[in-house]
Amino acid sequence: MFTKRFAAKLLSKKKEGLYRKPVNITKRRGKYIYINNCKVINFASNDYLGLGVDKKISEKISQNFLKYKNSSSSSRLVSGNYSIITETEKEYAKHFGFCDSLFFPSGYQANLALFSGLFSSQDSLFFDKHVHASCVKGMVLCNADCFGYNHNSISHLEKRLINNSSEYRAVVTESLFSMDGDFIKKEDFLSLKAKYGFLSVIDAAHSLGAIGNKGCDEIDKIADVGVGTFGKAFGFFGAFLLLPAKFKEYLFNFASPLIYSTTLPEAHAASVMDILQVISKADEKREKLKNISIRMKKRLKHFGFKVKGDAHIISIIIGNPAKALKISQNLIKKGYFVLSVRYPTVPLNKAILRIGMTALHTKEDVDGFINALSDFR
């Protein structure tokens, strides 16, 4: 019975060009991956600084696992609250300019915990319509009144705020949007925050580590609560919330995804401490990332592609989802991997090719990619 229903739904996904199937990666070497043994340059990665394939970091992580062993074996509220985790959280808070921080096994889980734990039916949440799926799922769980505003539109957000008199208001947005690749308009956002006094929740998964002095993206200036992930510029896995001490205490008492889930092991904390040292001193890598991203965007525009993106996430607008998928599949044959992003990740018939630039990419990679892409215009 179930199988028949699932088969029918999968078939309609295929007909709409929206069917998803992960590619099979057989090997990874720096910026190269092998898809079914075919060597391609990876333009679909979030390893913005290349730390995910850094040999020295791999060695440190291995040593940490040898020293601290494999697993924490329980939730922090049971017997997994190791001092090294708490101390490392303090270091992250200090680095990014917050009172405290809180680690999670993934960004998805962090957002579920954050929204379902902090907010309730007394609250009004205003969210950019392009925030990540994990924020949306978290908001659904919290029973607050939720109001979407048009992507990166400060004027629309203000309209929403004017019409709402709730005592408890929070605005949810991203600092660098994961698919559109644009930055939040910081100054305008701050003016609005000063005028309306809302709590700001900023998912900075794609900017922390990669943007600004020491990778901080000035997150402390705009966020009351910040979300960072270790799986992108930090080249590892897991996530961290940056938050006031009282909020952390509150989450330990009210956030089900934190209370009822095995925590990351001590070796993870030791490793993210090592990674933070690297991130602090990675200005050269960040500069390289910035410059190669500028080149990619300029060259794409020069060759007549419609592109968006203010930094290392660049999206090429395609529209038709089946076409985006076909281009992405054909590019693999030419030695390049780029993701076709389709509904529901982006609105229907607004499919894009999402390019994730990294500090490992060279001018030759960019030129070769554009050359290959030109065949599919």
Which one, 102 or 205, has the nearer CB to ligand PLP? 205
**DSSP code of residue 176:** B
Sole window of 30-38, 48-56, 101-109, 275-283 interacting with ligand PLP (rule: CB under 6 A): 101-109
Applying CB under 6 A, does 42 fall inside the site for ligand PLP? no
Q: Does 272 bind ligand PLP (CB under 6 A)?
A: no
CB of 232 to ligand PLP, least distance (A): 7
Return d(Cα 340, Cα 255) in angstroms, integer. 34
Shortest distance, position 48 Cβ to ligand PLP, whole Å = 12
Shortest distance (Å) from residue 227 CB to ligand PLP: 6
Among 88, 124, 134, 261, binds ligand PLP (CB under 6 A): 134
CA–CA distance, 173 with 376 (Å, rounded to integer) = 34
Q: Does 106 bind ligand PLP (CB under 6 A)?
A: yes
By beta-carbon proximity to ligand PLP, the closer residue of 104 and 336 is 104
Contact between 149 and ligand PLP per CB under 6 A? no
Q: Is the dihedral of CA 199, 205, 209, 213 positive or negative?
A: negative
For 307-327, give one letter per residue: b (16+ CB within 10 A) or e. bbbebbbbbbebeebbebbeb
Q: Where are the beta strands (DSSP E) in 3-140?
A: 25-29, 32-35, 38-42, 100-104, 124-128
Half-sphere exposure of 150 (CA within 13 A, CB side): 6
Half-sphere exposure of 254 (CA within 13 A, CB side): 15
Pick 108 or 305: Cβ nearer ligand PLP: 108
Name the helix (H) or strand (E) containing 291: helix 283-302
**291 contacts: CB under 8 Å, gap ≥ 6:** none
Q: Interacting stretch for ligand PLP, rule CB under 6 A, among 87-95, 100-108, 316-324, 367-375?
A: 100-108
Q: Which residues pair with 34 in a beta bridge?
A: 27, 39
Write down the least CB distance from residue 102 to ligand PLP, Å.
Answer: 14
**Angle 96-141-205 from CA coordinates, rounded to 5°:** 25
How far apart are CB 223 and ligand PLP at their closest, in Å? 13
Residue among 132 and 295 whose Cβ is closer to ligand PLP: 132
Calculate Rg over the CA atoms of the chain.
21
Say if CB 280 and CB 215 are below 8 A apart: yes
Of 4-12, 103-111, 158-166, 316-324, the segment contacting ligand PLP by CB under 6 A is 103-111
C-alpha span between 231 and 258 (Å, rounded): 19
CB of 110 to ligand PLP, least distance (A): 7
Q: Is 108 in the site for ligand PLP (CB under 6 A)?
A: yes
Examine residue 239 and tell whether it contacts ligand PLP (CB under 6 A). Answer: yes
In sequence order, which residues have a C-beta less than 8 Å from that of residue 313 and are 6 or more positions away?
A: 176, 177, 178, 179, 180, 181, 206, 354, 355, 356, 357
Among 72, 88, 101, 178, binds ligand PLP (CB under 6 A): 178
Instruction: Tell me which residues in 209-238 interact with ligand PLP (CB under 6 A).
Output: 229, 231
* Shortest spacing between CB 231 and ligand PLP, in angstroms: 4
Query: Of the candidates 299, 199, 306, 301, which has an alpha carbon nearest to the alpha carbon of residue 250?
Result: 199
205 binds ligand PLP (CB under 6 A): yes
Answer yes or no: are the C-beta atoms of 209 and 162 closer than 8 Å.
Answer: no
**Which residue lies nearest ligand PLP, judged by its C-beta?**
107
Q: Which stretch binds ligand PLP (CB under 6 A): 60-68, 78-86, 104-112, 369-377?
A: 104-112
132 binds ligand PLP, rule: CB under 6 A: yes
User: CB of residue 52 vs ligand PLP: minimum separation in angstroms?
Assistant: 13
Query: For ligand PLP, which residue of 182, 203, 274, 365 counts as binding (CB under 6 A)?
Result: 203
Residues that bind ligand PLP (CB under 6 A): 106-108, 111, 132, 134, 174, 178, 203, 205, 229, 231, 239
